[in-house]
Amino acid sequence: MDFKDFNFNPDLLEGLMAMGFRNATPIQEQAIPLILAKKDLIACAQTGTGKTGAYLLPVMNMISNTKERHNNTLILAPTRELAQQIDIQVEALSYFTNISSLTVYGGGDGVAYEQQKRSMRDGVDIIIATPGRLISHLSSGALKLDQLQHLVLDEADRMLDMGFYDDIMRIVSFLPEQRQTVLFSATMPPKIRKLAGSLLKNPEQISLSISKPAEGISQQIYQVHDEQKVPLLTEILKTGTYKSIIVFASTKDKVKDLGKVFRRLGLKAEAFHSDLDQKERESILLSFKNRQLPIIIGTDVLSRGIDVEGIDLVVNFDVPHDAEDYVHRIGRTARAATKGTAITLVNSRDKRKLDSIEKLIERKIEVMPLSEAISAIEMVHRPHVEKKNQPGKKKVWKKKKPSAKPSGISGTQEAQ
């Protein structure tokens, strides 16, 4: 469907054409007419399907045709990175309009906080915010949203996973009951249905089945034990021709450890995690997007918070607990009809998770052979137990002498 068929405001349409957008994606084709009709909407759609445009375009079109525009729209996002990306799209699409926007998120200094307060007092068309910092402004009285027309929750499932349910409900208590509410989620578990039931009125529903990984992704697995992971990954990275790489690990601590290990091995890599301050995180993302940093390491939060084209390798250092997170992770590569590689390191504890992934994507993933050097790395038993089971004797625990071979990072840490 051509964007011209939506009869958008000419200035908004001019911005679309200038960006080279002509045809709507499936989620845009279904969602835009419903939002333009001012229906509440619950939509299941993944990152990379055009979901941001699916709600931004109709909302911006309505703003363009509205006389009363003070604090018109609130978009809630789980992370500052996603909030920033949404704001970038607003700026691009509104280039030929006079629509204003403001991002509100934590991590900045007092100056940034005061700038946000001034912008709110002056009034802004679209506020894009993470829940925590927004509550601070609402509680202080600096921000009034009693005239709000549109509420959008982007990646609602991720917000709930991050523990934002109470924050969302508190924010909603500051909003008028008469408003349009749109909820986008990559998955639709019962907790999302419950949230939607609390916030939306007679909503329309769109459910695009979770998309299978793009055909351009070469999916591979290596069956390894933990001690082989770092040497194998080092071998892959040093012998391959990959220029833009994301490595996903299961916990924040493991992300930090991998960053240190990679740098000791002479690999140019940075760990991306919540303990970094805002400027550090923005600097890492900018370097990665500009191809100055070839390797970035993060958790699943990064899989939905980064939108960079040209990533040619995604590595699952740990198999994700949720099969749908696997699809999100590897979906960072082979975007826009390009090709890419997704490598997953699978240990003996991961069989059930791998089975779930293969069931979801409806295919077996190719098992790759290990090189002789990697195969020769022995597994370190921690501890190796020799039981003396004679009656009346104390059991003796003997730790086997560890191998001198290089070891990886243990996969026994709990998720942060």
Q: What is the pLDDT of residues 348-369, one digit of tens each?
A: 999 999 998 998 888 999 999 9
Write the pLDDT tens digit of every residue in 21-70.
888 989 999 999 999 999 999 998 776 678 899 999 999 999 998 877 67
Identify the weakest region by mean pLDDT among 57-66, 87-96, 211-220, 328-337.
Answer: 328-337
Question: Tokens 């109709």 map to which residue?
Answer: 58
Question: Tokens 């375009």 map to which residue?
Answer: 57
Q: Are residues 22 and 160 in the same domain?
A: yes
Q: Are residues 155 and 15 in the same domain?
A: yes
In a domain, 190, yes or no: yes
In a domain, 182, yes or no: yes
Q: Are residues 17 and 161 in the same domain?
A: yes
Is the four-CA dihedral 145, 305, 186, 252 of positive or negative sign?
A: negative
In a domain, 413, yes or no: no
pLDDT of residue 47: 65
pLDDT of residue 390: 42
Q: Are residues 181 and 265 in the same domain?
A: no
Cα 212 from Cα 288, distance rounded (Å): 26
Domain that holds residue 164: 3-207
In a domain, 354, yes or no: yes
- Has residue 109 got a pLDDT over 80? no
- Report whether 170 contacts 135 (CB < 8 A): yes
Q: Are residues 333 and 246 in the same domain?
A: yes
As for how many domains the chain has, the answer is 2
Domain stops at, among 207, 238, 267? 207
Tokens describing residue 372: 């002789």
Q: Are residues 197 and 293 in the same domain?
A: no
Q: Are residues 117 and 80 in the same domain?
A: yes
In a domain, 399, yes or no: no
Q: Are residues 176 and 236 in the same domain?
A: no
Q: Are residues 339 and 369 in the same domain?
A: yes
The CATH number for 284's domain is 3.40.50.300
Distance of CA 291 to the CA centre of its chain: 20
Average pLDDT of the chain?
Answer: 84
In a domain, 117, yes or no: yes
Q: Are residues 341 and 241 in the same domain?
A: yes
Q: Are residues 7 and 95 in the same domain?
A: yes
In a domain, 392, yes or no: no
Identify the weakest region by mean pLDDT among 14-18, 79-83, 110-114, 272-276.
Answer: 110-114
